[in-house]
Amino acid sequence: MEIKNAQPYRTELIGLLNGAGLPFDDLPKTLDNFIVAIVDGRVAGAAGIETYGDSGLLRSVVVEPALQGKGIAGQLLNTIEEMAAGEGIKQLILLTETAQDYFEKKGFHRISRDEVPEAVKISTEFSHVCPVSAIVLFKPLTTHIMKNILVLCTGNSCRSQMAEGYLRHFAGDKAAIYSAGVKTHGVNPKAIQVMAEDHIDISKHTSNHVDEYQHIPFDMVITVCDNANEACPFFPGNVQRFHQNFPDPPKATGTPDEIMNEFRRVRDMIKVYAANFVQQHLE
């Protein structure tokens, strides 16, 4: 999937909006703040903002029905929010009749029409196009958009769990960190133990299958074993892929102390990788 400016695709955008029953007659002549998602050479989704001072009116968020549920809307929304924040917009306003639940999961909350900035109230969409029954949603924008990062390994038992713990520690509020496996083997107790030795608590982590996260628009996917890299599923959107193969501590042999030392050795390797990753890609 590619995200592009909507201006060259005006006709396709109108067709998409018309098919979804969304207004299009009042689209601006110049679609500078509108974007489209291109999938297999065609316009599969769109979103845009109209700017009113430091407020942005979010509109025309639409995805082709056959491609809904594949993260396209989330990627469009993330891109729009980045655009808006870059232009100094401090909050987004949205009118919707059918998608309240979706946008509330994306950080929007309901407000009354009286709370809407005056400049937005007089917009064509707010004052004439959308019915008074439409729900008004609001989202404040921060100076940066939190990245969604997935760490993937075979069983989501050890290496990816350690990486999730360290990435959360080093990234702070710069990213939301998830881990998953192409299978689920449960969180390894020895991994929990050696992480606790370094004051990182992963005891409440769960072992999750990658399919559980299909609804999340990931910005980055890190595979931490060769098997996961080979079996890594397709992620829609402009997802950055990273790979670093780490030894698998549960395969270590020897005395109990030798096995635990192998867990510690791999833990320390992952810690260095996570610290460097955050410094290079999130700061």
CATH number of the structural domain spanning residue 36: 3.40.630.30
- 184, 208 in Cβ contact below 8 A? yes
What average pLDDT values come out for the chain (283 residues) when binned by 10 residues? 88 90 82 89 90 88 85 86 83 85 86 85 68 82 75 94 95 87 93 97 90 82 90 77 95 96 98 97 85
Both 168 and 105 in one domain: the answer is no
Both 58 and 110 in one domain: the answer is yes
How many residues in total does the chain contain?
283
Both 265 and 187 in one domain: the answer is yes
pLDDT of residue 121: 81
pLDDT of residue 130: 60
What single-letter amino acid sits at 53? G
- Tokens 């993937």 sit on residue: 152
pLDDT of residue 151: 96
- Tokens 């549920």 sit on residue: 69
pTM of the model: 0.53
pLDDT of residue 211: 86
Both 128 and 186 in one domain: the answer is no
> How many structural domains comprise the chain?
2
pLDDT of residue 278: 96
What single-letter amino acid sits at 134? A
Both 225 and 241 in one domain: the answer is yes
Both 51 and 130 in one domain: the answer is yes
Both 40 and 117 in one domain: the answer is yes
Q: Domain containing 262: what range?
A: 147-281
- 266, 225 in Cβ contact below 8 A? no
We report the CATH number of the domain holding residue 230 as 3.40.50.2300
Both 209 and 186 in one domain: the answer is yes
Both 163 and 73 in one domain: the answer is no
What are the φ and ψ backbone dihedral angles of 178, each rounded to 5 degrees?
Answer: -130, 155
**Both structure tokens of 20:** 């979804």
Distance CA 80, CA 74 (A): 10
Both 183 and 151 in one domain: the answer is yes
Give me the DSSP letters along 246-265.
---GGG--SSHHHHHHHHHH
What single-letter amino acid sits at 58? L
Both 108 and 205 in one domain: the answer is no
pLDDT of residue 128: 55
Q: Among 111, 140, 169, where does a domain finish?
A: 140
The SS3 call for residue 94 is strand
- 246, 266 in Cβ contact below 8 A? yes
Q: Among 112, 140, 168, where does a domain finish?
A: 140
Q: Among 105, 140, 175, where does a domain finish?
A: 140
pLDDT of residue 142: 64
Active site (catalytic) residues? 153, 225, 232
Both 71 and 185 in one domain: the answer is no
Q: Where are the alpha helices (DSSP H) in 124-225?
A: 124, 159-171, 189-197
pLDDT of residue 144: 54
